Structure 1
Amino acid sequence: MAHQTQEPLAQPPGSPAPAPAPGKTSPWIRKHWAGLAACAVAVPLAFLVHMLIPSIPVMTTAVVLGVLSANIPGPSKLVAGPWKAGLGFAGKKLMRAGIVLLGLKLSIVDVLALGWATFVVVVVIVLLAFGGTYLLGKAFRLPGDQPLMIATGFSICGASAIGAMSAVRRSKEEDTVIPVALVTLCGTLAIAVLPLLMGPLGLSPEAFGQWVGASVHDVGQVVATAQTAGASALAIAIVIKLTRVLTLAPMVAIAGVMSRRSSKGGSEQEGLKLPPIVPMFIIGFVALVAVRSIFNLPPELLDAATIVQDIVLAAALFGLGSAVRIRQLFHSKGVSIVMALCSWALIAGLGYAGVLLLQM
C-alpha cells in the first residue's frame, strides 16, 4: 500500500496566528524592523543636533529628518519600500504612546496656580484659534480633514494634537502629514521671530513668557522660544502651554462624538466598527494627568518619563515626516503654506491680545 501524506488541518477562521517556529523571525518583525531601525538611527541624530544647537528642538529636527529622508533620491526609495511599514507604525502607534506620557508633564495644581482669569483667557484663546484656523482652512479650500488637523495642531499642542485628532477621526495619511509639516514650519518660524518682537512690543520677560505659552504650538518650540528671555519667562510659558494641552482631551472627545454620529449610518450598513468616542490613549493621558496631580512623584521618575516620551515622540515624528512629499506642500501654488502662515499670525495676535488683557 502506498504511503499517503496527511494534509494539515485548516486553521479555523478568526483563530490566532500560529507562533513562529523556533529560530524563525515573526512576520511582524520582518515587516517592520527596517523602518523601526531607521527611527533608531534618526532619533539619536535629532538629539545630537539639539545638543549642538539647543535652540533647535528635538521634535523639529526629527520631523525635518523624516521629510528629508522622503525627498532625497536614494533614501526616498527605502522610505517608500522596506521602511514604509515600520515608519507607519512609528507615526501612529508610537505617537499615541507619547501622548499618554505627555500627561505626566501636566499637573492641575500648576494650572490652578495661574488663577482663574489666566485659565479662562488661555481657554478662550484656544477656542478662538481653533475656530479661526478651521474657518481659514475652509476658506482656502484645503481638502479632507486638513482644516481640522491644522486647527488642532496650531491651537493646542502641535503634532501630538494632530496625531490624537487624526486617530479619533480616522483621517487619511495625507490629511495628517501635511499639517504636521506645517505646524513644524510655523513653530520653527516662531522660535526665530518672536524673540525679535519682545523689545518693540515692550514686553517684560513674564509677559513674553505668557505670549509664547499662549501662541507657540509644540512644547519643545515653546521652550526654545521662551528661554531667550530668561528663567521666569520659561517657567510661565511652560505652565500656560500645558494649560493649552489640558484642552486636548475634551476637544478630542467632542470630535469623537461628532465622528461617531456622522459615520453611524454608513458604518452600520457596511458592517464597520464605529470610531471611539474617546480613544484609549486619551484616557491614558487623562489618567496620568490625574496621577501627576494627586501624587508627589519622585523627580527621577518624571525625568525618566520625559526622556522616554521624547524618544517615542521623536520616532513618531520621524515616521510622520517621512510621509511628507515637498511637492504636496506646494500643491495649488502653496495654498496650504499661505493658510498656515495666516493661522500663525492669527494665533500670535490672539496670544498678544490675551497678554494685554491680563495686564489690565
Structure 2
Amino acid sequence: MTGDELDEKAPSIWPGLTLAFAAAGAALLAQQALPAVSPLLVAIVLGVALTNLWTVPQSLAPGLQVAAKRLLRLGIVMLGLQLALGDILALGPGMILVVLLIVGLGIAGTVLIGRTLGVPPMQRLLIACGFSICGAAAVAAVDGAIGAEEEDVASAIGLVVVFGTAMIGVVPAVLGVMDLTSREQGLIAGGSIHEVAQVVAAGGIMGGGALTAAVVVKLARVLMLAPVILMIGLARRRLVAPVAGKRPALLPLFVGGFLVAALARTLLPLGAPVLEGGRIAQTILLSAAMFSLGCGVRISMVKTLGGRPVVLATLSTAWVFAIATIGVLLIG
C-alpha cells in the first residue's frame, strides 16, 4: 500500500476541528451578549448538550480529540502572555505569601478532604489544582502531567467552571457586606475565584480599584501552575516505575511554553495589539477545547459520579475563599 493510499484512509481531523471552532465562536458571541458569562462555561455546556441530544458522528471524533488535547495545551501557552512578572512583584511580599498559601494549602486541603470523602485520587487532584490555581487550564495541565481518565478530566472541568461562575455573583455579594476597601475586595476575589474570565467579571461588578487588584492576584496564582506541575512530575518519578527505560517528564513541553510566553510578556516590548490578540487566541483555543471535552460527558456518566465530587467542589471553594479572606485581612 502506498503512502498516498494510507493518507486517503486516514481519518480527517478537520470536521471535528471545524465544529469545535464554531462552538468557540458561539461561546464568544454569548459572552458579548452576557459579559458575566464565561465562554468556557458556554462551550462546555454546548458540548454536553450536543453529545446527549444527538448522536455525534464518528467522523468528528479525530478532530474533537485534537481539540481536547492539542488546542487546550496551546491555550495554556497563550495564557502565559497575560503574565507580567513586574505587576505580580508589585503586590508586595505579604500578598505574594498569601498567594503561595492559597495554592499550597488549597491543594493540600482539597486533596485531604477528597480522600476523606472517598473521591478517587486522580479526580481529587484535578479538582484541587483547578480550584486552587486557575480553573480549567490547571486541570488540563495536571492531566498532561499525570494522564488522567477522560471522565475525571471532564467532571473536574465541569465542576470548576460551574462553581467559578457561581462565584461571580456570590463573592461580590459576600464581600460587599464586609468592612473592606475596594482593593481588599479585589485581592480576595482574585485569590479565590477559579477562572481569569470569572475574576474579571466579578471585579467589574465590585468596581473601583477592585478589578485591577483582582486580576493581578489571579495572574499570580496562574504563575504557580509551573511549580505545581514540576512538583507533580517529581512525585511521579518517585512513584511510577519507568516504562522502557523512560521516566515521566518533569515538566510537560506546553508548560515550558507557558513559562516562555510569560517571560516574553515581561521582558519584551509587546504592543497592545499583540497582547489583545493573544488574549483572544487563548479564549478561542480554550473554548474549542472545552467544547470538545464537553462532548465526552454523557449524563449517564455524570450520574455514576455520585454526589461526592460535588461536595468536594463545594468544600474546596469555601476553603480557598477562607484562606484568601483571612490572608488579606492579616496583611491589611
TM-score tier after normalising by the smaller chain length: over 0.9
**Structure 2 residue aligned with 1:35:** 16
Which of residues 32, 43, 56 in structure 2 aligns to 1:78?
Answer: 56
Q: Is 1:257 aligned to residue 234 of structure 2?
A: yes
TM-score (norm 2): 0.94
SS in 2 for 1:276: coil
Q: Deviations over 1:338-360 (max 9, x none)?
A: 1111111111111111121121x
Q: Which residue matches 2:268? A: 295
Partners of 1:58 and 1:199 in 2: how far apart? 26
Equivalent residue number for residue 5 of structure 1: none
Structure 1 counterpart SS, 2:59: coil
Shift of 1:136: 1.4
SS at match of 1:78: coil
Q: 1:116 aligns to what?
A: 93
8 Å CA contact retained: 1:181, 1:324: no
Distance 1:231 1:101 in 2: 28
Deviation at 1:330, TM superposition (A): 3.6
| % same residue | 36
Q: C-alpha deviations, 1:80-136, integer Å up to 9, x for none? A: x33222212111111110111111110110111111111111111111111011111
Gap change, CA 1:272 and 1:328, over 3 Å in 2: farther
Cα deviation for residue 292 of structure 1 reads: 1.1
Q: CA deviation at 1:31?
A: 3.4
How far apart are residue 275 of structure 1 and its match? Answer: 2.2
Superposed displacement of residue 231, structure 1: 4.6
Amino acid at match of 1:149: L
Equivalent position of 1:3 in the other structure: none
- Residue 26 of structure 1 deviates from its aligned partner by 5.1
Partner of 1:188: 165
What's the secondary structure of 2:248's corresponding residue? coil
Q: 1:354 to 1:326 in 2, by over 3 A?
A: farther
Backbone CA RMSD of aligned residues:
1.9
What is the correspondence of 1:1-360 to structure 2 with a 5 Å cutoff? 18=3, 20=4, 27=9, 30-72=11-53, 74=54, 77-78=55-56, 81-265=58-242, 267=243, 271=244, 273-331=246-304, 333-359=306-332
Provide the C-alpha distance between the structure 1 equivalents of 2:23 and 2:44, rounded to a whole number of angstroms.
10
Please give the alpha-carbon distance, in whole angstroms, between the structure 2 residues aligned to 1:26 and 1:202. Answer: 67
One-letter identity of the residue aligned with 1:301: V
**CA apart distance, 1:282:** 0.8
Q: Which stretch has the larger CA shift, 190-199 or 155-164?
A: 190-199
* Contact kept? 1:170, 1:275, Cα under 8 Å: no
Does structure 1 retain, via aligned residues, the 8 Å contact 2:101–2:323? no
SS at match of 2:210: helix
Opposite residue 118 of structure 2, the aligned amino acid is: R
On the 8 A contact 1:39/1:315 being kept in 2, the answer is: yes
* Structure 1: stretches of 5+ with no match in the other structure: 1-7, 12-17
Deviation at 1:230, TM superposition (A): 1.2
Distance 1:221 1:26 in 2: 44
8 Å CA contact retained: 1:109, 1:293: yes
Q: What secondary structure does 1:221 align onto?
A: helix
Change (3 A) 1:126 1:117: same
Q: Distance in 1 between matches of 2:305 and 2:273?
A: 49
Which amino acid is 2:172 matched to? P
TM-score, normalised by the number of residues in structure 1: 0.87
Which protein is bigger by CA-based radius of gyration? 1
Answer yes or no: is the 8 Å Cα contact 1:111–1:243 preserved in 2.
yes
CA distance in structure 2 between the aligned counterparts of 1:340 and 1:329, rounded to whole angstroms: 15
Residues 297, 31 of structure 1: CA spacing in aligned structure 2 closer, same or farther, 3 A cutoff? same
Q: Which amino acid aligns with 1:59?
A: L
- The total of aligned residue pairs comes to 332
Q: In 2 relative to 1, CA 318–231 (structure 1 residues): closer, same or farther, beyond 3 Å?
A: farther
Alpha carbons 1:129, 1:346 under 8 Å: kept: yes
